């Protein structure tokens, strides 16, 4: 079945440091890939997405490239800020037999950015 | 524009009771999905509804049920509550089916005593 594996956290960085959060997936076919972010006490916000191989999703300085050959979708940001502190979830979507679609999430990676 | 709204925000129940959680999708969105997020884990898919019909079901017992109304809002019902049902329940909406991004509400925090 489909699954998503993320690096374990917490990841602690100083402000302006470079961020990488690793994500690999197992899936049949070619799923769409997503990164969601969850701030304390809130729901999930869509950060970026990619729908096919070699697509690069980007938003708010974050980037991730859909790598079919390595089944990866690593999240990167060149310079993190304290306000980026949150939990980041990698996810893939699978089309269901009834025509619906479900998201399969990784376990999440907590990011802490310090001054 | 309002995002996905869920009610109530917090709820405390005891074992064996029943609970109903409510969700209003983003205006114009016709699909609603429900997820359960246990502390420290990623969300797990429970149901998806589109045009008032169930389009997908996750690996949850029959104690969990849901429905979608003509205005596309949705309810999640859980019967015979167990301690393990304590979680954040998230609702997500999307415009249609297929490869559509899902937009999440802030969730209902359910605690079972």
pLDDT digits (tens, 9 = 90+) for A94-113: 887 777 888 999 999 999 99
Among B21, B35, B39, B56, the strongest candidate for a mutation testing the A interface, having the largest count of A CBs within 10 A, is B56
**Tens-level pLDDT at each residue, chain B (113 residues):** 679 999 999 999 999 999 999 999 999 999 999 999 999 899 999 999 999 999 999 999 999 999 999 999 999 999 999 999 999 999 999 988 777 889 999 999 999 99
* Helical ranges in chain A per DSSP H: none
Taking only residues 75 to 114 of chain A, the set having a beta carbon closer than 8 angstroms to any beta carbon of chain B reads 89, 91, 93, 95-96, 98-108
Q: What are the tens digits of pLDDT across the range A57-84?
A: 999 999 999 999 999 999 999 999 999 9
* B19–chain A Cβ distance below 8 A for any pair: no
The b-or-e profile of B59-82 (16+ CB within 10 A means b, else e) is: ebeeebebebeeebbbbbebeebe
Distance CA A23, CA B10 (A): 32
């Amino acid at each position: 079945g489909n699954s998503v594996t993320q690096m374990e956290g917490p990841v602690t960085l100083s402000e302006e440091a470079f961020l990488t959060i690793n994500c690999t997936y197992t899936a049949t076919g070619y799923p769409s890939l997503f990164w969601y972010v969850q701030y304390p006490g809130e729901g999930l916000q869509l950060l970026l997405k990619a729908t096919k191989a070699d697509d690069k999703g980007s938003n708010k300085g974050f980037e991730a490239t859909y790598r079919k050959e390595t089944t990866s979708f690593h999240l990167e940001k060149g310079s993190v800020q304290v306000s980026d502190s949150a939990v980041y979830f990698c996810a893939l979507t699978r089309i269901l037999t009834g025509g619906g679609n479900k998201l399969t999430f990784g376990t999440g990676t907590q990011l802490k950015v310090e001054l | 524009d309002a995002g996905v709204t869920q009610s109530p925000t917090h709820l405390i129940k005891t074992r064996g009771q029943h609970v109903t959680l409510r969700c209003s999708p983003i205006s114009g969105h016709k699909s609603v999905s429900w997820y359960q997020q246990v502390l420290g884990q990623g969300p797990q898919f429970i149901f998806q509804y589109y045009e008032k019909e169930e389009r997908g079901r996750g690996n949850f017992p029959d104690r969990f049920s849901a429905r979608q109304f003509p205005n596309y809002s949705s309810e999640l019902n859980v019967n015979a509550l167990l301690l393990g049902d304590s979680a954040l329940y998230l609702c997500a909406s999307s415009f249609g089916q297929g490869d559509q991004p899902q937009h999440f509400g802030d969730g209902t925090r359910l605690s079972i005593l």
